[in-house]
């Protein structure tokens, strides 16, 4: 049996068990480059005028940090769901956090998505350029779940646009 620990948008999944990760801290740690289109992913438009801003949209991440505790939920996940989450969470890498999960889920592996090097580098680039932002809609979702604030990142009123997957070539 496998579970996924959700600490941001994944924590909104129905049917999860409340739990915590000991030794991990939540922060704004990854970003996507809103200038680029990736089939099956997303980009953002400004709600005010539907223009597409050249920004780096930030998302929550977790990092190991002795003494820290990150609240969230554990959701049961089979192979197909894990595959779908691996594709969805393209700014992250899946890591085994079983030993840090409390309460322990007997006999199960618990996975979490931690920022990838590329996702973290995009946020660093956005910060350097003064172009890293948080979507108000995403902030509201994670604020309700985790009480997160944005620190030095401005909040923009963005509309998410999900992109279709490309059809396989024939």
* CATH T-level topology, domain 2-162: Hypothetical upf0131 protein ytfp (3.10.490)
Q: Tokens 């920022």 map to which residue?
A: 115
Q: Which residues of 64-94 are buried (b: 16+ CB within 10 A; e: fewer)?
A: eeeebebebbbbebeeeeeeebeeebbbbee
Output the pTM of the full model: 0.91
The residue ranges of every structural domain in the chain are 2-162
Local confidence pLDDT in tens for the 170 residues of the chain: 999 999 998 887 778 899 999 999 999 999 999 999 988 899 999 999 999 999 999 999 999 999 999 999 999 999 998 999 998 899 999 999 999 999 988 889 999 999 999 999 999 999 999 999 999 999 988 887 666 678 889 999 999 999 998 755 54
> Maximum CA pair distance of the chain?
54
């Amino acid at each position: 049996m496998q579970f996924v620990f959700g600490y941001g948008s994944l924590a909104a999944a129905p049917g999860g068990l409340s739990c915590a990760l000991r030794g991990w801290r939540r922060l704004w740690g990854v970003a996507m480059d809103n200038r680029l289109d990736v089939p099956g992913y997303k980009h953002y438009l400004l709600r005010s005028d539907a223009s597409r801003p050249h920004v780096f949209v930030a998302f929550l991440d977790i990092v190991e940090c002795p003494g820290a505790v990150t609240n969230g939920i554990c959701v049961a996940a089979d192979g197909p769901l894990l595959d779908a989450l691996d594709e969805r969470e393209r700014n992250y890498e899946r890591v085994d956090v079983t030993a840090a999960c409390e309460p322990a889920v007997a006999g199960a592996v618990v996975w979490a998505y931690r920022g990838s090097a590329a996702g973290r580098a995009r946020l660093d680039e956005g910060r350097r350029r003064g172009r890293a932002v948080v979507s108000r809609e995403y902030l509201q979702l994670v604020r309700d779940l985790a009480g997160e604030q944005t620190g030095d990142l401005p909040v923009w009123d963005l509309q998410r646009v999900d992109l279709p997957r490309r059809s396989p070539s024939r």
